């Protein structure tokens, strides 16, 4: 059963049998906005959210960024599935797959960010959620974090995976910001490490 996370909550990413996870996927889903038309009908307005992963070392220095313009980390341990420009469709609209054993030892944190490239804020965007699934176990959902209704900001440092002595932990951060790209969120991502 998945855990619904609230801001600042941390969970260990260990399997029920005590083993560590090896393959996880961060999924981001949202819906196009519905806007009332001039003559009383409704129309869909595309929303371009972007999921990104910032790979940071123990000192908070960015070692790599995986996003729609750079779909793979240098070592191929983290892969972005591609850019969704509208939010149309069911399920996850963008995903970032992480092969945890292949993540270089220098990477201490993987910080996941979401930004509204098209400029809508999270008070306007419908059904925006982030989730982590165990890819090696038929996409079993481990944690879910709701982003919709969180305010008038256009970006959020949503979560991080961090190395711990026994594997990895997942922390829901939910730190709001105003940015159109992941690189504009680096200072906020660094603040989330403490």
Residue 122 near residue 113 (C-beta atoms within 8 A):
no
Six-digit token pair at 8?
A: 């600042």
Q: Was domain 3-33+49-191 assigned CATH 2.60.60.30?
A: yes
* Distance of alpha carbon 76 from alpha carbon 185, whole angstroms: 23
Output the pTM of the full model: 0.85
pLDDT attached to residue 107? 96
Please name the residue that has the structure tokens 């059904």: 127
CA 179 to chain centre: 15
Give the whole-number percent of the chain exceeding pLDDT 70. Answer: 87
Poorest-pLDDT segment among 36-50, 117-131, 149-163: 36-50
Please, which residues bridge with residue 178 across strands? none
Write out pLDDT tens, residues 57-110: 999 999 999 999 999 999 999 999 988 766 667 778 889 999 999 999 999 999
Mean of per-residue pLDDT scores for the chain: 84
Half-sphere exposure of 54 (CA within 13 A, CB side): 28
Reduced to 3 states (helix: H, G, I; strand: E, B; else coil), residue 136 is: helix
């Amino acid at each position: 059963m998945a855990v619904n996370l609230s801001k600042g909550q941390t969970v260990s990413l260990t399997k029920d049998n005590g083993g560590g996870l090896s393959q996880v996927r961060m999924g981001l889903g949202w819906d196009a906005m519905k806007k009332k038309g001039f003559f009383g009908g409704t129309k869909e307005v595309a929303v371009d959210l972007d999921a990104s992963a910032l790979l940071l070392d123990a000192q908070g220095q960015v070692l790599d960024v995986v996003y729609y313009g750079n779909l793979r980390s240098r070592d191929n341990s983290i892969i972005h599935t591609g850019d969704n420009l509208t939010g149309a469709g069911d399920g996850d609209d963008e995903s970032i797959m992480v092969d945890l054993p292949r993540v270089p030892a220098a990477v201490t944190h993987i910080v996941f960010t979401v930004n509204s490239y098209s400029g809508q804020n999270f008070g306007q965007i419908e059904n925006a959620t982030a989730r982590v699934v165990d890819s090696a176990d038929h996409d079993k959902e481990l944690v879910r974090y709701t982003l919709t209704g969180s305010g008038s900001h256009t970006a959020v440092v949503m979560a991080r995976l961090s190395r711990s002595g026994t594997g990895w932990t997942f922390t829901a951060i939910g730190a709001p910001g105003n940015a159109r790209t992941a690189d504009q969120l680096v200072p906020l991502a660094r603040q989330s490490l403490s």
